[in-house]
Structure 1
Amino acid sequence: MSNCSSCEKRGWTVEDVLLRVAGSAVVLLVALDALTTTVTVSGGAGPLTRRVAELLWRGFLRLHRSGVPSLLQRAGPVLLVTTVLVWVLLLWLGWTLVMLTAGVVDATTREPAGVADVVYYTGFTIFTLGVGDFVATTSATRVLTAAASFTGLFVITLAITYLISVVSAVVARRALAVQIGTLGSHPAAMVTGGWDGQEFSSAFVQRLVNVTKDLATGAEQHLAYPVLHYYHSRTRATAAPLALAHLDEMLFLLQEIVDEGARPEAAAVAPTRRAVDRYLEAVMATSSMPVQVDGPPPLPDVSVIRSAGIPVVDEAHLRMAAVAAADRRRSLATMVASDGWTW
Structure 2
Amino acid sequence: METLYLIAGVLVLILCIIDFTWTTLWIDGGAGPVTKHLSSSIWRFMRLVTRKQSKQLSLAGPLVLSATLLMWIGLLWIGWALTFAGLEQSISPSNGTDPISWYDRFYFAGYLIFTLGNGDFSPMEGTAQIISVIATATGMLFITFGVTYLISILSAVTMKRSLAVSIHGLGESAEEIARSAWNGEDFHDLNLLLASFSENLGSLAAQHAAYPVLHYYHAISNTTALPTAITVLDESLSIINFAVPEKHHPNQLLLKETRSSVDQYLTTLNPAFFKPAEQVPSLPDFHSLRGAGIPLIPEKEYTSAYKKIETRRKKLLGGLEADGRPWPTDLN
TM > 0.5 between the two? yes
1:229–1:287 Cα contact (<8 Å) kept: no
Partner residue, 1:247: 233
Partner residue, 1:83: 68
Inter-CA distance 69–235: structure 2 relative to 1 (3 Å threshold): closer
**Aligned-residue offset at 1:340:** 1.6
Report the TM-score, using the length of structure 1 for normalisation.
0.91
Measure, in 2, the Cα distance between the counterparts of 1:166 and 1:290.
Answer: 20
**Aligned-residue offset at 1:237:** 0.8
User: Does residue 1:126 correspond to 2:126, yes or no?
Assistant: no
Partner residue, 1:149: 136
Partner residue, 1:70: 55
User: Does residue 1:307 correspond to 2:291, yes or no?
Assistant: yes
1:80–1:227 Cα contact (<8 Å) kept: yes
Measure, in 1, the Cα distance between the counterparts of 2:222 and 2:94.
Answer: 60
Q: Output the amino acid matched with 1:143.
A: I
Inter-CA distance 290–184: structure 2 relative to 1 (3 Å threshold): closer
Partner residue, 1:138: 125
Measure, in 2, the Cα distance between the counterparts of 1:328 and 1:292.
Answer: 9
Partner residue, 1:294: 278
1:34–1:158 Cα contact (<8 Å) kept: no
Partner residue, 1:204: 190
Q: Output the amino acid matched with 1:189.
A: E
**Aligned-residue offset at 1:68:** 4.7
Partner residue, 1:12: none
SS in 2 for 1:105: strand
SS in 1 for 2:92: strand
Measure, in 2, the Cα distance between the counterparts of 1:262 and 1:297.
Answer: 26
2:280–2:313 Cα contact (<8 Å) kept: yes
**Aligned-residue offset at 1:183:** 2.2
**Aligned-residue offset at 1:179:** 1.6
User: Does residue 1:161 correspond to 2:122, yes or no?
Assistant: no
**What does the per-residue CA deviation read over 1:141-174, in whole Å, with 9 as the maximum and x for residues that have no partner?**
1111111111111111111111111111100111
**Aligned-residue offset at 1:69:** 4.0
**What does the per-residue CA deviation read over 1:158-195, in whole Å, with 9 as the maximum and x for residues that have no partner?**
11111111111100111111121122221011111111
Partner residue, 2:175: 188
Partner residue, 1:316: 300
Measure, in 2, the Cα distance between the counterparts of 1:282 and 1:293.
Answer: 16
**Aligned-residue offset at 1:315:** 2.1
Measure, in 2, the Cα distance between the counterparts of 1:228 and 1:80.
Answer: 9
Structure 1 portions without partners, runs of 5+:
1-14
Partner residue, 2:28: 42
Q: Output the amino acid matched with 1:85.
A: L
Report the TM-score, using the length of structure 2 for normalisation.
0.93
Measure, in 2, the Cα distance between the counterparts of 1:246 and 1:253.
Answer: 11
User: Does residue 1:341 correspond to 2:325, yes or no?
Assistant: yes
Structure 2 portions without partners, runs of 5+:
328-332
Measure, in 1, the Cα distance between the counterparts of 2:165 and 2:288.
Answer: 23
User: Does residue 1:216 correspond to 2:202, yes or no?
Assistant: yes
User: Does residue 1:275 correspond to 2:261, yes or no?
Assistant: yes
Map 1:12-51 onto structure 2 (within 5 A): 15-51=1-37
Q: Output the amino acid matched with 1:82.
A: A
Inter-CA distance 74–170: structure 2 relative to 1 (3 Å threshold): same
User: Does residue 1:237 correspond to 2:194, yes or no?
Assistant: no
User: Does residue 1:259 correspond to 2:233, yes or no?
Assistant: no
Map 1:46-65 onto structure 2 (within 5 A): 46-65=32-51
**Aligned-residue offset at 1:287:** 5.1
Measure, in 2, the Cα distance between the counterparts of 1:64 and 1:293.
Answer: 22
Partner residue, 1:330: 314
In angstroms, what is the RMSD of aligned CA positions? 1.6
Percent of counterpart pairs with the same letter?
35
Aligned partner (choices 75, 78, 84) of residue 93 of structure 1:
78
**Aligned-residue offset at 1:247:** 0.8
User: Does residue 1:178 correspond to 2:165, yes or no?
Assistant: yes
**What does the per-residue CA deviation read over 1:77-101, in whole Å, with 9 as the maximum and x for residues that have no partner?**
1111110000001111111111112
Q: Output the amino acid matched with 2:228.
A: L
SS in 2 for 1:243: helix
